[in-house]
Amino acid sequence: MNLAIHELFQKSRFLTNEINYTLKKHNLYASQWSVLYCIKKHGEMSLTQIWKYLNVEAPTITRTVYRLVELGWIDIHPGKDRREKIVKLSAKALEDFPEIQASMVEFEERVVTNLTPQEQSLLHQLLQKII
């Protein structure tokens, strides 16, 4: 396997594990946070808006959203189009959000400590050139 591609997979798994570790004290997993973050950013969203934004398949979002409802992070209600489900952050989520976000900002800064802003930008450009 191409060295760069191999390293990409290694770092992806490593970073996922690190994010899960960072979020552990908030009782959240990486994918759950990505959904919460996305909803916070956009306000109310339909499930379809979420999976299109996050670029994953619909069933992944169905599952994660219902888990977040179960855990009390998200409120869900039908839209005026009766096929769709609309989702928003719960009061608890809105309250806890800043602290969790602070943990994540700290994590993200740590992760790229060894890269200058120019290198980060270059890395982004090189990744975009894949396929």
Partner DNA sequence: GTAAAATATTTAACTAGGTAAATAAATAAA
Partner DNA sequence: TTTATTTATTTACCTAGTTAAATATTTTAC
Which residue stretch of 51-59, 94-102, 105-113, 115-123 sits at the interface with DNA (rule: CB under 7 A)? 51-59
77 binds a second copy (CB under 8 A): no
The option from a second copy, DNA, none interacting with 124 (CB < 5 to 8 A, set by class) reads a second copy
CA proximity to 39, closest of 1, 75, 13, 80:
75
Structure tokens at 4: 């760069």
How many C-beta atoms surround the C-beta of residue 69 within 10 A? 15
103 binds DNA (CB under 7 A): no
What whole-number distance in Å separates Cα of residue 73 and Cα of residue 110? 27
Residue number with CB closer to DNA (64 or 103): 64
74 binds DNA (CB under 7 A): no
DSSP summary character for residue 73:
S
CA proximity to 21, closest of 123, 95, 96, 111:
111
The option from a second copy, DNA, none interacting with 113 (CB < 5 to 8 A, set by class) reads a second copy
109 binds DNA (CB under 7 A): no
- Phi/psi region, residue 81 (left: phi>0; alpha: psi -120 to 50; beta: rest), is beta
Contact with a second copy (CB under 8 A): which of 14, 25, 27, 106? 14
Which residue stretch of 20-28, 64-72, 90-98, 110-118 sits at the interface with a second copy (rule: CB under 8 A)? 110-118
